[in-house]
Chain A
C-alpha cells in the first residue's frame, strides 16, 4: 500500500450533520425524510470535495468519473447484460465491483486510517456506484420485461456511451420515459420533464415494487381514470391509479403491471 501524502478538503458547507447522514446511509440507519434529505445533500456537497496528493488535486466527482465511470461501467454493463436473471443476480455483481473499488482506493493509498477524512472518498464512490449500477440493472430488467410482455417500445442502448446518457431511457406510444431507482431518482431530482417514470421503491411492505409515474397530460393520452389521493394513499395504489397533488406538483401513480396492461390494450387497439 502506498504511503504517499494525501489530504481531503471538504467544502465549507459540509457540516457535522452531513457526516452523520453519510455514516447513517452506510449503516442503513436513516429514518424519515429529514435523515434522507441530509444524506442527499451530503452527497451533493461531496461532489466538490477534493483529494490532494503529490500528483495534484481532484474533486470527488472527477475521481468517480476517472476510477469508476470510465474504467468500470462498460465492463459492468457487459456482465450485467449477460446475466440470466438480472433481478436476482445483479446485486451480487454490484457488490463484486464495489469490493473492487475499495481495493483500488486502498492500493492507491487513499484509504488511510490515520486520515479519517479519506473515508468520505470511499463512501462517496460506493454511494454513486450503487446509484448508477443499480439503476442500470433496473433498466435492463424493465427492458427485458417489457419485451417479454410484447409491449412495443424503443429503448436506448446502454452499451453505447452516447445513447447511455440520452435524455430519456425509453419511448412508449410517443411518450418519453425514464427508469430510475428511488435513491438515484431523488439524488438527481430535476424538473419532471419526462412523460412518465418507472421507479423502484419500497412500498406495501415489499422489498421491491415497480411503479409508474405519469405527468397528467401524458396520463390523459392513455385516457385513464384516477382517484384523488395523497402520499398516504400509496400503499393502496395497486387498487386503482392515484392522482397526487403535493408541493405544487400533480402526478398520477399506478402499479407497473397495471400500466403495462393499459399500454398493451392501447397498442392492441392501434393494430
Chain B
C-alpha cells in the first residue's frame, strides 16, 4: 500500500488518486479474489453474531407487538419498535391488515 497519508498528498496527487480510481472502476468491476472474499466474509459474519434473540410478533387490535424471548441490555423493544446500536427499527405491515 502507498506510504503517503492524505495530509502528505498534495492536491495534484490526490486528484490523480481519485481520477485513477474512477477511471479504473469505469472499465472493470473491482471485485475481490475468491479466497480472500470467502475468508473475510465468514470471519465477519461469525464475528457479528454474539447472541441470538428470537422475536415473537403478534397483534393486539391494529397494534403490532414484538416480544423477545430474553432480555439484552443493548436492545430495547417497545411495541413495534426496536432500539439497537443507535438505530430505531420500526416494524410496520406492508399493506393494511
Please say whether chains A and B are actual partners in one complex.
Answer: yes
A residues touching B (Cβ–Cβ < 8 Å)?
16, 19-21, 23-24, 26-33, 35-37, 40, 91-92, 94-95, 98-99, 102, 113, 116-117, 119-120, 122, 126, 130, 134, 162, 181-183, 185-186, 189-192, 199-203, 207-209, 211, 231-232, 234-235, 244, 246-249, 251, 253
Question: Of A116, A119, A186, which is in contact with the most chain B CB atoms at under 10 Å from its CB?
Answer: A186
Residue among B1, B23, B94 making CB contact with A30, cutoff 8 Å: B1
Residue among A94, A181, A189 making CB contact with B48, cutoff 8 Å: A189
Interchain CA distance A174-B8 in the complex, whole Å: 54
Given contacts A16-B5, A26-B21, A95-B23, whether A191 and B29 have CB atoms under 8 Å apart is: no
Given contacts A191-B48, A202-B33, whether A122 and B18 have CB atoms under 8 Å apart is: yes
**Interface contact A203-B33, CB-CB below 8 Å:** yes
**A93 nearest CB neighbor, chain B only:** B26
Given contacts A113-B11, A182-B37, whether A28 and B2 have CB atoms under 8 Å apart is: no
Main secondary structure of the interface of B (DSSP, over half): helix
Residue among A23, A134, A203 making CB contact with B30, cutoff 8 Å: A134
**Interface contact B45-A190, CB-CB below 8 Å:** yes
Residues of B with C-beta under 8 A to A183: 30-32
Interchain CA distance A202-B30 in the complex, whole Å: 9
Given contacts A91-B25, A113-B14, A126-B22, whether A23 and B32 have CB atoms under 8 Å apart is: no
Give 1 or 0 for each of B8-38: 1 = CB within 8 Å of chain A CB.
Answer: 0111001001101111111111111111111
Is there a chain A Cβ closer than 8 Å to B71's Cβ?
no
**Interface contact A40-B1, CB-CB below 8 Å:** no
Is there a chain A Cβ closer than 8 Å to B97's Cβ?
no
Residues of B with C-beta under 8 A to A162: 94
Given contacts A94-B26, A201-B34, A208-B29, whether A249 and B45 have CB atoms under 8 Å apart is: yes
Residues of A with C-beta under 8 A to B32: 36, 182-183, 186, 201-202
**Interface contact A24-B2, CB-CB below 8 Å:** yes
**Interface contact B29-A117, CB-CB below 8 Å:** no
**Interface contact A186-B41, CB-CB below 8 Å:** yes
Interchain CA distance A134-B26 in the complex, whole Å: 11
Interchain CA distance A115-B14 in the complex, whole Å: 12
**Nearest 5 interchain pairs by C-beta:** A95-B26, A189-B44, A24-B1, A203-B34, A116-B7
**Interface contact A102-B18, CB-CB below 8 Å:** yes
- Count CB-based A-B contacts (< 8 Å): 153
Is there a chain A Cβ closer than 8 Å to B43's Cβ?
yes
**Interface contact B2-A185, CB-CB below 8 Å:** no
B residues touching A (Cβ–Cβ < 8 Å)?
1-2, 4-7, 9-11, 14, 17-18, 20-46, 48-49, 94
Given contacts A26-B17, A134-B29, A181-B31, whether A244 and B2 have CB atoms under 8 Å apart is: no
If A95-B25, A183-B31, A192-B45 are given as contacts, then 7 extra A-B residue pairs at C-beta distance below 8 Å, sorted by A number, are A20-B1, A29-B2, A113-B10, A119-B6, A201-B32, A201-B34, A231-B38
**A31 nearest CB neighbor, chain B only:** B1
Name 9 A/B residue pairs within 8 A (Cβ), A-sorted. A21-B1, A24-B2, A31-B1, A102-B18, A117-B7, A119-B14, A189-B48, A231-B38, A248-B42
Interchain CA distance A182-B38 in the complex, whole Å: 9
